[in-house]
Amino acid sequence: MANISITPGSIARPADAIPKRPNPVWLFIRTQPLGFAGLIVILAYLAAAVGAQWIAPYDPEAIDFTAMLTPPNSEHLLGTDQFGRDVFSRIVYGARTALAVGILSSLFGCTLGAIIGAASGYWGGRIDTMIQRVVDVMLSFPIIVLAMVVVAVLGKRPLLGVDMNLVAAIALPFIPKMTRIARSSTLSIAQMPYIDAARAAGYGDGRIIMRHILPNIVAPYLIMTTAFIAQAILLEASLSFLGLGVTEPTPAWGLMLSGASADFYKSAPWMILFPGLAITLAVFAFNMFGDSLRDWLDPKMRS
Amino acid sequence: MNSSMKFALAVGLVFGVASPAAHAQAPKKGGVLNFAVVAEPPTYDCHATTTFATLHPVRPHYSGLLKFKGDVNSKIELVGDLAESFEQSKDGLTYTFKLRRNVKFHDGTPFTAADIKATYERIVNPQAGILSARKALHENITAIETPDDFTAVFKLNVPNASMLNNFASPFNCVYSAKKLMEDQRYPEKAPMGTGPFVYVDYVKGATWEAKRFDQYFEAGRPYLDGYKAFFVKANSVVPGMQGGQFDAEFRGRTPKERDQLVDAMKDNVTVQEGPWTTSVLLTFNTKRKPFDDVRVRQALTMAVDRRAGAVPLSKISMLKFVGGLTRPGSEWALPDDELNKLPGYGTDIAKSREEAKKLLAAAGVTNLKIKLVNRNIAEPYTPAGIFVVSEWKKIGVEAEHLQLENKSYFDAQASGEFDATVEFISDFVDDPSLQFVKFISAKKSPVNVSGSEDAELDKLFDAQAATIDPVERRKLTQAFEKRAITQSYSMMLYWWQRIVVLNKKVKGWELHASHFTGQDLAGVWLDQ
């Protein structure tokens, strides 16, 4: 019998046997290039929102009658509006309004929707039926109509420069949508053995929902939150355009497209062109990132 | 009767004064005038309404005792409508009107002094359920006598310097006494008067139609076969005129809309522009600190460079003229050298803003943040709000600009939920009693939004209202204006410009300083 000597390094090491896990960020960049591009744009907008006072060359609300309707030039990169206000500065500051309202309303709507959906799916029965009929009613309203009604009824309630009633109005249409998604995920999770085990261990319903169900619907929650940010930005712009959102002179993209701006579409097209592009790019970026996040987080899609 | 002032108004002479356009060409008969009205009439009753949305479609069905005639850029004068002549007693307590004969209502009944009496009694002492929006302006009328069918005598308890203007108010449509006796509410149902046009039809939200009254008292008039008013949104006027649906919109358009129409229609439109008896002002809530301090209010008005903003703002909005509480250019306006001495009207803005900062410091106010309540109507309220917010920033004052829909806006004012609010004043004539009523004590004036109480202003107001002699009255109105501007309960921002664009075929229409007057359409004709 031959002697077998074992020396260090002579047996296969686990590292050689199991392929090295690629860096998740790199994996995301490689597999979701559009999503990554969207992320870069989102980060750029976030940077603009946070550092607006350093990036914007002018006070976005300051009137300069000597520069009324100036076309884009070296002093005013994207031109000026009818009050001589710098369009670039207003777009940079407008990112604050768009992202603040977009992120807050999406987070608020999705979080509330997820909790209601999880409760609806977990308890089932009459509670589920009741919640789902309310959701049916809410879903029957077009998003913009529902938001308009809420804004008109609630008026304005500014907090740290953000109108919280506007946030609530935009969040409201997201709640039933997220409720449906969270409910369907909960229905399958609720059948899992670990839920039965939790029940057997004597855990209360609240603890089971909060500790065992909600953490398992994080993936759809994240995906929907990201996707709804794009919708929220668009909705905020639409409401401002209709005169129901942010009011002048606060810089906001939708507001920059509304009112008298439309009168100047021939003589000063930059007044509506650049805010329009800012909205389009932001919505596109969030949509791309949201779609990619869905593909990346979903194991079936990944395979 | 002692008559110090006697105006014999020969009707023929009066109507010989026509617009330059009418002089150039003999009026042609025929055609239907189509015009836009950018709001729906809330009522057809002239006595109850306060809006042009009623007057523009409804006023051509009626006549008044007197009316305003002329062009704001030349001269507007008071002339007879149903009155052939009138006398005012020396003590200002009696007005005697000699009325036209052979005037008929649209139902064929003859017009007499009884109709004047019934009309003014409805205004002065309306029956229960009848709204008389200008009752307070006529409260000095204590008796209306009709010694014969064509004489009406008004007795007043105290002289009222505005009474002649009130008799010419476009809202004082003369109604049929016979019809009123049958139904005090008849004007709310189917307009019927002695005016140049007979009511035909009204489709809510769409149109108002009228046809020519062949028995109108002015021979040869009206020239039009009829008119059709279209109730539309403001943004439909330009495309509607370009497309030939409307020949005019008489309230007034923005400079940009004028440019768009001139650009698109070239020589097919005529533009009439002039000053407007309408202004935008800011009112402070004197019930709230620190706006109860005159130094703070003065500082805020002194920070605003009205003169620098006037020309640029006039290019993008209806705001144009810098003035005090009376329309600049009117007979009541405070002279510039007097105005320039008052807070907010200084000619050195840098100095003015330095002074404003000192006033705020003296009042112990730092980091002032103002809740500025405005209407969510774009023109000209939004530019006014944007301008003021930007100007206040220059003295370190931040403002939160809240643009509210009409109900919330008026609720905020009524409940005092504001620090400052953008307001407007719009009257049918330049008359200090009309323009000043917002500035007298809140206890006396329901339209005072500031909540201020000022006995000196009240005293000056009452004195000017009762002073018939225009020279003496002017002294009092100027004293009132100086006091009101110095106290700065409200700060006048700008007086508006009125821009009316007409299809070039529309002739004989005269531009007044008010969009409420000059709308009986009797002299309008179509060159086609």
In the predicted model, what is the mean pLDDT of residues B187-202? Answer: 96
**Minimal Cα distance from B257: which residue of A?**
A263
Yes or no: say if B246 and B237 are a contact pair by the CB < 8 Å rule: yes
In the predicted model, what is the mean pLDDT of residues B11-30? Answer: 56
What residues in B contact A83, CB-CB < 8 Å?
316, 383, 386-387, 390
CATH superfamily of B3-10+19-247+505-526: Periplasmic binding protein-like II (3.40.190.10)
Those residues whose C-beta lies under 8 Å from the C-beta of residue B40, and which sit 6 or more positions away, are B53, B204, B205, B231
Burial class (CB in 10 A: 0-12, 13-18, 19+), A216: middle
| A100–chain B nearest CA distance, Å | 18
Q: Which of A238-252, B2-16, B355-369 has the lowest mean pLDDT?
A: B2-16
Burial class (CB in 10 A: 0-12, 13-18, 19+), B50: middle
| pLDDT tens profile A61-99 | 999 999 999 999 999 999 999 999 999 999 999 999 889
For A17-52, give one letter per residue: b (16+ CB within 10 A) or e. Answer: eeeeeeeeeeebeeebeebbbbbebbeebeebbeeb
The answer to whether the B3-10+19-247+505-526 and B275-497 domains have the same CATH topology is no
Taking the Cβ of residue A249 and every Cβ of chain B, the question of whether any pair is shorter than 8 Å is answered with: yes
ipTM value, please give it: 0.79
In the predicted model, what is the mean pLDDT of residues B510-522? Answer: 96
- Subunit contact A62:B390, Cβ cutoff 8 A: yes
Yes or no: say if B132 and B49 are a contact pair by the CB < 8 Å rule: no
pLDDT of residue A3: 55
Say how many residues make up chain A: 303
At residue A29 the predicted structure's pLDDT band, cuts being 50, 70 and 90, is confident
| pLDDT tens profile B287-346 | 999 999 999 999 999 999 999 999 999 999 999 999 999 999 999 999 999 999 999 999
Domain count along chain A:
1
DSSP string, B38-56: SS--S-S-TTT--SHHHHH
Mean pLDDT, rounded, of chain B = 92
pLDDT of residue B3: 42
Q: Which bin fits B165, alpha (ψ -120 to 50), beta or left (φ > 0)?
A: alpha
Evaluate whether residue A104 is within a structural domain. yes
For residue B154, give the nearest of B95, B210, B233, B92 by alpha carbon.
B95
User: Residue B12 pLDDT more than 50?
Assistant: no
Evaluate whether residue A180 is within a structural domain. yes
pLDDT of residue A163: 79
| pLDDT tens profile B69-104 | 999 888 889 999 999 999 999 999 999 999 999 999
What percentage of residues in chain B have a pLDDT greater than 70?
95
| pLDDT tens profile A163-203 | 788 888 889 889 999 999 999 999 988 888 988 899 898 89
pLDDT of residue B104: 97
- Subunit contact B389:A260, Cβ cutoff 8 A: no
Mean pLDDT, rounded, of chain A = 86
At residue B378 the predicted structure's pLDDT band, cuts being 50, 70 and 90, is confident
What residues in A contact B374, CB-CB < 8 Å?
247
At residue A16 the predicted structure's pLDDT band, cuts being 50, 70 and 90, is low
For residue A240, give the nearest of A169, A177, A153 by alpha carbon.
A169
Yes or no: say if B488 and B44 are a contact pair by the CB < 8 Å rule: no
Which of helix, strand or coil describes residue A279? helix
B70 beta partners: B76
**Minimal Cα distance from B256: which residue of A?**
A263
At residue A10 the predicted structure's pLDDT band, cuts being 50, 70 and 90, is low
At residue B524 the predicted structure's pLDDT band, cuts being 50, 70 and 90, is very high
Q: What is the largest CA-CA distance in chain A?
A: 100
Yes or no: say if A286 and A230 are a contact pair by the CB < 8 Å rule: yes
Taking the Cβ of residue A259 and every Cβ of chain B, the question of whether any pair is shorter than 8 Å is answered with: yes
Evaluate whether residue A23 is within a structural domain. no
| pLDDT tens profile B128-165 | 999 999 998 999 999 999 999 999 999 999 999 999 99
Alpha-carbon gap, residue B443 to A291, rounded angstroms: 64
Alpha-carbon gap, residue B516 to B53, rounded angstroms: 9
| pLDDT tens profile A45-59 | 999 999 999 999 999
User: Residue A264 pLDDT more than 60?
Assistant: yes
How do the domains of chain B map onto residue ranges? Answer: 3-10+19-247+505-526, 275-497
Taking the Cβ of residue A158 and every Cβ of chain B, the question of whether any pair is shorter than 8 Å is answered with: yes
Q: What is the CA radius of gyration of chain A?
A: 25
Alpha-carbon gap, residue B37 to B209, rounded angstroms: 13
Look up the CATH number of the domain holding residue A237. Answer: 1.10.3720.10
Select B275-497's CATH number: 3.40.50.1980, 3.40.50.300, 3.30.450.20, 3.10.105.10: 3.10.105.10
| pLDDT tens profile B166-190 | 999 999 999 999 999 999 999 999 9
- Subunit contact B401:A243, Cβ cutoff 8 A: no
**B70 phi and psi, to 5 degrees?**
120, -165
Alpha-carbon gap, residue B411 to B405, rounded angstroms: 10
What residues in B contact A248, CB-CB < 8 Å?
382, 385-386, 401, 403
Say how many residues make up chain B: 528
In the predicted model, what is the mean pLDDT of residues B500-522? Answer: 96
| A106–chain B nearest CA distance, Å | 25
Residue A228 structural domain = 32-59+81-302
